[in-house]
Amino acid sequence: MILDELTLDEKIGQKIILGFRGLSLVEAYDLHNYLQSGMIGGVVLFDKDLETGEKRNISDPLQTVRLISDLKDNSKYPILVAIDQEGGKVARLNSSNGFEEFPSAMEVALKEDFEYAQICFKKIAEVLKYVGINVNFAPVVDLSINSNNTVVVGKGRCFGSEPKQVATYAKMFINAHLELGILPVAKHFPGHGSSFDDSHYGWVDISNTWITKELKPYELLNNAGRLPAVMVGHLYNKHIDPNFPASISHIWIEEMLRKQIGFDGLVISDDLQMKAICDYFTLEEVVEHAFKSGIDILVFANQSNYEIDIPKKVIEIAKNLLFNGKLSIVELDKSVQRILKIKNEFMLN
């Protein structure tokens, strides 16, 4: 893919990953149109729909393979096909839809067996490769600092409380995916393990709990050349940025992640329809500040509030901001170039 081949609408569309309903492309008519017109850069798959409680995109292995194959075949440009497949409680491919179960990060780390860990991570990557998924929103590199944390620590999603241990296991996880051409995405920057609240349901203030130690796994992985992509969480710290949570914060992303840590890979937002964002910012504000903050890919999972026309809205908002001089076309091109680099590097589609 080449930047100059894209229209302005398509450039903006490359920055969107969309969640959708349907076990087949036939069931997702609007999505089919977005793919064929090059108006989205990727999709994210879920096993269950949070609003309806029904199966969403995954019912069994064969159906999943067919769906992903159809998504790719009907897209104008190579697409990112993403999923949350950490192991343990956060695994969209699981025994309820015919896939193998894998241990959580905590369970893997408690074994204190690197060979066992490598086998687990390799199997996870192999399953993703088999069905055609090319992006895994994992590993979690949060530190298990707060024992009362329910969203990551309580669910066994952390490898431990010490940065070196977390980075060691995360590196093995990342290597297993890179070897099979799957993009791993470390999360949730700048650290969700000290929080008390869950951004799915409301504002998460880490001002009095977060410690700089939580950045260390990212530094260690980046220094090892094993940090191709980072997901930024909706985490608010008034001492760092008094106005915005990390996911739409220029200070966190450009100053801390890129300049301080030296990260030059892909920056992906957590789901921008979570209540920590949508209850406090309009879609116009989200788009403006996400673009300005340095987020490369905006994720709209369409789980808490289903809006299949989100891409159209985002593209129109971004174009208006560009035309009004509130966003920079130079910065847009830099961001899209990072996305295309990843797509070309991983030979997606």
In sequence order, the 6+-apart residues with CB closer than 8 A to the CB of 121 are: 172, 173, 175, 176, 177
Give the pairing of strands 42-44 and 16-19: parallel
φ, ψ for residue 82, nearest 5 deg: -110, 160
Tell me how far apart the alpha carbons of residues 28 and 314 are, in angstroms, rounded to a whole number. 19
pLDDT at res. 201? 63
Domain ranges in the chain are: 12-345
Peptide bond into 78 cis (omega under 30): no
Region class of 88: left (phi > 0), else alpha (psi between -120 and 50), else beta: left
CB 186 within 8 A of CB 217: yes
The three state secondary structure string of the chain is CCHHHCCHHHHHHCCEEEECCCCCHHHCHHHHHHHHCCCCCEEECCCECCCCCCECCCCCHHHHHHHHHHHHHCCCCCCEEEECEEECCEECCCHHHCCCCCCCHHHHHHHCCHHHHHHHHHHHHHHHHHHCCCEECCCECCCCCCCCCCCCCCCCCCCCCCHHHHHHHHHHHHHHHHCCCCEECEEEECCCCCCCCCCCCCCCECCCCCCHHHHHHHHHHHHCCCCCEEEECCCECCCCCCCCCHHHCHHHHHHHHHHHCCCCCEEEECCCCCHHHHCCCCHHHHHHHHHHHCCCEEEECCCCCCCCCHHHHHHHHHHHHHHCCCCCHHHHHHHHHHHHHHHHHCCCC
Work out the number of other CB atoms within 10 angstroms of the CB of residue 238.
Answer: 11
Is pTM beyond 0.95? Reply is: yes
Q: What is the pLDDT of residues 290-306, one digit of tens each?
A: 999 999 999 999 998 89
Class of domain 12-345: alpha beta
pLDDT at res. 243? 96
CB 257 within 8 A of CB 265: no
CA angle (134, 140, 146) in 5-degree steps? 165
Name residue 320's amino acid.
Answer: N
pLDDT at res. 349? 44
Tell me how far apart the alpha carbons of residues 136 and 44 are, in angstroms, rounded to a whole number. 10
Beta bridge partners of 232: 189, 269
Q: What is the pLDDT of residues 208-262, one digit of tens each?
A: 999 999 999 999 999 999 999 999 999 999 999 999 999 999 999 999 999 999 9
Tell me how far apart the alpha carbons of residues 39 and 322 are, in angstroms, rounded to a whole number. 17
Q: What is the pLDDT of residues 119-141, one digit of tens each?
A: 999 999 999 999 999 999 999 99
pLDDT at res. 196? 84
Q: For 93-122, give one letter per residue: b (16+ CB within 10 A) or e.
A: bbeebebeebbbbbebbeeeeeeebbebbb
Calculate helix-pair angle for 310-323, 283-293, nearest 10 degrees: 60
Q: Which two tokens stand for residue 290?
A: 């996400």
Q: Which two tokens stand for residue 218?
A: 């990212």
pLDDT at res. 345? 87
Residue ranges of the chain with per-residue pLDDT less than 70: 198-199, 201-202, 347-349
